[in-house]
Structures are given as structure tokens and as C-alpha cells.
Amino acid sequence: MSESRVGQRSKVAVLGASGYAGRELCGLVERHPGLALAGRFSARLGVEPEAPQSPVDAPIERLDLERLDGLDGVFVCAPHGASAPLVETALARGLKVVDLSADFRLRDGALYERVYGAVHPAPQLLDGAVYGLTEERRADVQRAQLVANPGCYPTSVLLPLVPLVRAGLLAKDSAVIADCKSGLSGAGKEPSAKTHFGAVHENFAAYGVGTHRHQPEIEQEALGTKVVFVPHLLPVFRGILSTLYLDPAPGIAARDVLNCLQARYAGEPFVRVFERGLPDLSRVQRTNQCHIGAADAFGKVVVVSCLDNLVKGAAGQALQNMNLMLARPETEGLV
């Protein structure tokens, strides 16, 4: 849709509305002044959706693909592998699609197969999918029919890292250590032995070291920089705090890093670079903000980035992208 939709309400649906990201998206769309939520659906054909968790929760409808006709856009919040067929169906109906799964984040179908253990279900769509790190790919997102919403961890790492790599502020051939910590909701709604209350309460642990599925995504988008990604599970529900340990180029210090990031993100509505001090989770939770700070430490520069994994790391960034795809104001419905 090329003409501006300001003043009209664009109709969208959420497929996979029962998960954490899907529920977050439904709430954002319901409060959005320019979007109408035309359906909150299960992501599985032929499966009855689960009952609402409480009397105040809106019911989730059984997936009916015919109900997608006439919409402007759709958010797909299905698990990897199950998402691609829904994306194909929505694209065939001419809808703008933001996919929150991993199905279209990796550009290489063979790499997807190695990481996810299955042949890619729709390899013909990979070349046309735009990796939706909005601040980096805004113009491409505006023209896109399909946007692959980035993972939450990669968003927290790439927003501070990419401008520094592009500006040449890192030591040649150095590796970046990305020490990242996420709230429990980043693991999704399905319970496991590692994510139930008894395992997480008053506990803190690293996991997926060297094997996490977000590692290839970070490597793909880090402009050739080596990144050692180490995720941890925090005993909180929402939020990601990523600490990047950088070997700076000769003569570069934290002040230079901050100057670079401040220049890059000046005027950006959802990225705030601190003049002094370091960010914390409490100030970004339930917002679409990413806060970034930096400090010198024993010859290294330490950069701290934090965001809400369910908002800027998932539903909020998806809505930011959909706003652009539907020619709406990018910040509409977001804080």
C-alpha cells in the first residue's frame, strides 16, 4: 500500500495470539490509534484454541484462513517450522507480513537446516524477506512484503554493536564477548524443567553456550565481527540486559564509543544513548526503548544495552515494522 494510511484504520490479525509475544501484540494493537485488531487466532489449523486464562482475557479464535481476506497485515507468532506455511498463505492473499519466528531470519537455507534440524519449509521466500532490525533497515522495511522480526537477544546486541563496527572503533580481528541476560518470558510459554518457578526462583544460570540458536543470527548481521554470545536466564519475567566487552581500536575509549552511538541514534525515537552512567531493566520494561551506556575498564570498553524482550525484542519491534510497512507513523501506538 503506497498511499499514507494516516486517518484510516488498517486491519490486522495476530496468528498465535496465545503465546507471550502474541498476547503482547494483541494488547499493543488494541491500544493503537490507527490499527484495528480483526482477529486473534490460534496458530494451528484444526486445533481448538485454549480457553482464556481469566474472565478478563479476550478469547482466542480457531484459525480460519478465509478470515485473512481483506486485511492489510498479519503478525505470525508461531513456532519455527510452523510459521512459514502461515506466512506463505498470508503473502498469497496480498497481506503485509511480520513473522516473529526464526523461519526467515537466516538468509541461508542450509544454515537454517543445520541450526533448526529440519529442511527450510519455504526456501523460495528467503531472498525476499527483510531482516527487520528497524533502525538499520528502515527503508527496506518500508518496501517489504515480508519482514523477519529479529530475535530479542540479537536486537540487544546488534543495536549497539553495528554502528561501532561500521565506524571502525573495534581492534582489528578482535572478538566481542556478548554477556547477555534475559527474563524468563524469553524462553516462551511452554513449561520445562528449567523454566518452572522452582528452577528459576533465587537462581541464575548460563545456558546454550556455543549452541544457542541466536548465535548464527548475530553472526549474520554483525558485519563480519566475531561475537562470543553467552546467554543467561534471569529470575525476572521480562527484560534483557546485554554487556558487550570490546577491545577498542588504538586511541579509542568509552567517550568515543558514546559519541559514535549518540551521533548514530540522534533523532531515533526508540534508542537512547546515555551521556553518563549505565542503563538498567526497570526503565525499559513495557516500553519499545533500547537504552545504551558505556564505560572504560582495564583497557577495554564495556557497553551495556537493555530492552524489554517482549516489546523492543518482539511485539513492539514487530509493530514498529508493521507501521512502516503500512505507511503509518513509525512511532504510532508505541512508547
Residues labelled catalytic: 152
**CA 14 to mean position of chain CA atoms:** 16
Write the Ramachandran bin of 46: left for phi over 0, alpha for psi from -120 to 50, otherwise beta.
left
Among 97, 42, 59, 94, residue whose Cα is nearest residue 75: 97
DSSP state of 170: B
C-alpha angle 115-127-67 in degrees, rounded to nearest 5: 90
Contact 312, 133 (CB under 8 A): no
Joined together, the cell numbers standing for residue 122 give 519455504
300-307 and 290-297 beta bridge pairing: antiparallel
Cell numbers for 224: 563480519
